[in-house]
Structure 1
Amino acid sequence: MVSSLQQLHALTGLRFLATAHVVAYHVYHLVFSGTEAPPGLHGLLDSGYVSLGLFFVLSGFILGYNYLEQPPGTYAARKAFWVARFARIYPVYALGLALDAPAYLKGLRDTWAVDPSRGLQHAEALVVTPLLLQSWTPWTAMAWNGSGWSLAVEAFFYAAFPFLAGRLGLLGPRALAVGAAVTYGAAMVFPALYMTVDPDHTGGTASAYNSGPWMLALRFNPLARLPEFILGILAARFFLLRSGESRRSHPVALAVVCAGVIAALAGSTVLPFPLLHNGLLAPVFAALFILLSWSQGAVARVLASRPLRLLGEASYALFLLHMPVLFAWKAVLKRLGESPTAAWAVVAFVVGSIGLSLLVHERVEKPARAWIRDRWARRGTEQSAAGL
């Protein structure tokens, strides 16, 4: 990684807002189920799944920004890259699985009692989920700590990145424009095909909570989401090519993009779900990352402020742990005879989840990451000393 690159702090703050969007989406559906907010607010709350697409584009952008100028081209460099990615994601991912294990095992037991064949499918998650392979099959993608499906997709991206970086990092401006258009077309072709063929016979009613097996495959399969990641890499290449503009602000363009994102989310109920879920806004997100990274304006300064940066750094833990915490909190409230929709209960969940994420980031995520990377570095030194 090129250590001399400037830190894109505004994107760290943006990560927290995107994670908060996902959390609000789950609270809206799992706590306030059956209650619908006013149309615009309903659209914002009902579109939390779109932030997963934002994360996929952002992942490509950040990795491209850090590695395109010095891609991991050798076997040793690729191995070091993969170890660094493993150290970054797996400790908190494993903690999320541990916290959600009681709920998953109870669900497995109940499903097996009703339908052993479905129970067997559900049980496959015991094997594939710890290996970050659950998103390759629709029935295992969300079986165990549902938020983790996106990490299985990210794991595929990480595996592919060293081989993509060496090629995409050589593209010039014209090739970038063609590549971006082709990649965006690839992102849209399968959702459009699904809408045309309607293999699940949804009659146009497919949604995050009303999906057949083909829709689940479209939503979760890493190959279907790869174009979003590649668009992020291409955006990073464009940003690096225009590095001379890194200190210039584009306030009007940034305002238009931010307003466009908010308007699309607020009106998400009138947009085709398959397209919106699988990258309809991906080019807009790529433009947002570029403009925020260039900007010195108020929006960028707020996102780059110390509180939002701290929350952004802990947002990965919040993303992976909020679902187990939510289910556990609902169980506690049920035992107490309290309503999960009470204002104090919702506030307690939000504050508790954020507090837990900050604690896990400092006490689990950072130490575990350092330990894994240190162990790997020492192993490499020992192998070099032994002449291996």
Structure 2
Amino acid sequence: MKLQSIQALRGVAALLVVLMHLRVLEAKSIADNGLSEPGIIGGLFTNGYAGVDLFFVISGFIMVYVTRNTAPGARAAIEFLFARITRIYPVWWAFAGAVTLYMIAAYGLPADNADWANATGGQPAASYLLKSFLLIPQSEFPILNVGWTLIHEVYFYLVFTLLLLAPRGWLPALLAGWAVIVTAGALLGLSSHNATNLVTLIFHPMTLEFLLGAAAGLAVTNGLVWRSGLLTLLATLWLLIALGYQGEETVFLLEWGRVFWFGLPAALLVYAAAGLDFENRHIWLFPALAGALVMIALYLLTGADGTSSEEARRAATLLTVTVGGVAMLIIIWFGWLLGQGAPERLNRTRSFFRHLLNGAVKLGDWSFALYLSHLIVLSALRLVFGMLGRSDALAPLFRLGHPGLMDNLVFAVTGLVLTLLTSWLSYRMYEQPLTILFGRLRKTMFHRDQPQPAPA
């Protein structure tokens, strides 16, 4: 059973990160041009890095869900690890390799000059690249910096593989024990806002987000589904409140703060959305989406973002969550009225929503490629805008910071279209064929000894 709501949330998580980086690169280009106008992307997307927290929660949920019928033992554990490793590394190597080739072209070989030293933090280039490609913690971000999250993912996979060796009934206690160990180590000062070595990786509080997702997975797979529609609405409001109210990034935020601000509402949202999948009540996603879009647009119109004063963020958040909540209620009320008086129109609405959900699911399918490719695409686009913007004739369209919104709008729309197109092509032409190939290889390796059903 493919969990459509969860897959759609993967797409939402990736888009949050894309929009955040689009905003950052837009602001850098405006500054490089010696201008100071605000970018077109702001508001809640200032804190779009919360998409990573949502990713981690989804990852924990999926690990529990896909192994719900797995028998304990070494064979099943190794098969699980094989499936996850072949899902991550080949795609990562493609994009990390592209950045490596760019750096070789830009900085030259041998990799012993100042530019390479600046990129590697003074480490030998060979060691830095090896750790980057293997996703091993080190003092600097990997060659493609979004890969820092994959270092955490690989760690999650390795530990969860060990948990699969034990009887399934032990899993709740083992996950709870893991949470206690992480919490204790972090409180003892063994963590850091960046996982620069094995110790800081093991005790990083963001692991608790993975465990929150695993707890949601345990609840759902054991049939503990409660008020999924209502909880989806409340979790959506909670997460948007966190996105709106959270301000300056601090060391606390990058460790424990992310768990409290974003991990908890993300876990509730994943639990509720999975419940909608199990109960086939996806229609509840429609008022959640409507309320979210109203809140995002209204918060943007207030002019507040993560850099605004606490008072401004609080006022904007209170206003937008109130209006967003009312919008959700209006959608539910109209849905009820249509169901009572014009059920045929409601059915046509359901058909439209089904197409919308299918589109979001496809975006979720592309989400890994989208996450890995977007910085490459947007950075290249920024260079193109920088070159074209030098021309006064082209300045209204390509010189970011030029008076008016046209330059900002062109950059934002072009950036989104190109990143989506790149992720779709990467998924269809590289990631999906590899997934099929490794899926067949996994069946050959781990299921060839199983008896085949007799022909009909």
Do both share a fold (TM > 0.5)?
yes
* Structure-2 residue corresponding to 1:18: 13
**Cα pair distance change 1:325/1:76, threshold 3 Å:** same
> 1:118 offset after TM fit, Å?
3.5
Question: 2:122 aligns to what SS in structure 1?
Answer: helix
1:300 and 2:285 are equivalent in the alignment: yes
**Cα pair distance change 1:26/1:90, threshold 3 Å:** same
Deviations 1:15-38 (A, max 9, x none): 111111001111111222466869
Q: How many Å separate the matches in 2 of 1:68 and 1:21?
A: 30
**Cα pair distance change 1:163/1:25, threshold 3 Å:** same
Selected match of 1:314 from 359, 366, 377: 366
Conservation of the 8 A alpha-carbon contact between 1:19 and 1:51: yes
- 2:134 aligned partner, one-letter code: L
User: Whose RCO is larger (CA < 8 A, sep 6+)?
Assistant: 1
Conservation of the 8 A alpha-carbon contact between 2:135 and 2:150: yes
* Structure-2 residue corresponding to 1:48: 48
Q: How many Å separate the matches in 2 of 1:30 and 1:151?
A: 22
Q: How many Å separate the matches in 2 of 1:113 and 1:193?
A: 36
Q: How many Å separate the matches in 2 of 1:36 and 1:168?
A: 59
Selected match of 2:430 from 350, 364, 373: 364
* Structure-1 residue corresponding to 2:57: 57
- 1:287 aligned partner, one-letter code: L
Deviations 1:313-333 (A, max 9, x none): 111100001111111222222
Can you give the 5+ residue segments of structure 2 that lack an aligned partner in the other structure?
Answer: 287-352, 391-397, 402-406, 451-456
Selected match of 2:380 from 321, 328, 335: 328
Q: How does 1:1-388 map to 2 (within 5 A)?
A: 6-33=1-28, 42=42, 44-71=44-71, 73-105=72-104, 106=106, 111-112=114-115, 118-120=121-123, 124-133=127-136, 136-139=137-140, 142-165=141-164, 169-170=168-169, 214-217=192-195, 221-223=200-202, 224=204, 225-243=206-224, 245=225, 249-269=227-247, 273-274=253-254, 275-278=256-259, 280-295=261-276, 296-300=281-285, 305-336=357-388, 337=390, 338-339=398-399, 342=407, 343-378=409-444
> 1:124 offset after TM fit, Å?
3.1
> 1:126 offset after TM fit, Å?
0.8
- 1:273 aligned partner, one-letter code: L
Q: Larger radius of gyration, structure 1 or 2?
A: 2
- 2:274 aligned partner, one-letter code: S
Q: How many Å separate the matches in 1 of 2:434 and 2:120?
A: 38
**Matched residues, number:** 348
Can you give the 5+ residue segments of structure 1 that lack an aligned partner in the other structure?
Answer: 1-5, 200-213
**Cα pair distance change 1:170/1:28, threshold 3 Å:** same
> 1:228 offset after TM fit, Å?
2.0
Conservation of the 8 A alpha-carbon contact between 2:57 and 2:270: no
TM-score normalized by structure 1?
A: 0.76
Q: How many Å separate the matches in 1 of 2:89 and 2:429?
A: 15
- 2:285 aligned partner, one-letter code: A
Q: How many Å separate the matches in 2 of 1:97 and 1:121?
A: 17
Q: How many Å separate the matches in 1 of 2:184 and 2:155?
A: 20
Report the more deviating stretch, 104-113 or 321-330.
104-113
Question: 1:217 aligns to what SS in structure 2?
Answer: coil
Conservation of the 8 A alpha-carbon contact between 2:96 and 2:143: yes
**Cα pair distance change 1:60/1:168, threshold 3 Å:** farther
> 1:153 offset after TM fit, Å?
1.3
TM-score normalized by structure 2?
A: 0.66
- 2:201 aligned partner, one-letter code: P
> 1:115 offset after TM fit, Å?
6.5
Between the aligned residues of both structures, percent identity stands at: 21
> 1:167 offset after TM fit, Å?
5.4
- 1:24 aligned partner, one-letter code: L
Question: 1:32 aligns to what SS in structure 2?
Answer: helix
Q: How many Å separate the matches in 2 of 1:166 and 1:46?
A: 42
**Cα pair distance change 1:179/1:75, threshold 3 Å:** closer
Q: How many Å separate the matches in 1 of 2:420 and 2:93?
A: 19
Conservation of the 8 A alpha-carbon contact between 1:219 and 1:278: no
Q: How many Å separate the matches in 2 of 1:137 and 1:278?
A: 23
Question: 2:433 aligns to what SS in structure 1?
Answer: helix
Q: How many Å separate the matches in 1 of 2:121 and 2:257?
A: 29
- 2:147 aligned partner, one-letter code: G
> 1:112 offset after TM fit, Å?
4.7
Deviations 1:246-301 (A, max 9, x none): xx644333222211110011111068523333554323222211111223153436
Computed over aligned residues only, the root mean square deviation of the Cα atoms, in angstroms, reads 3.6
Question: 1:137 aligns to what SS in structure 2?
Answer: coil
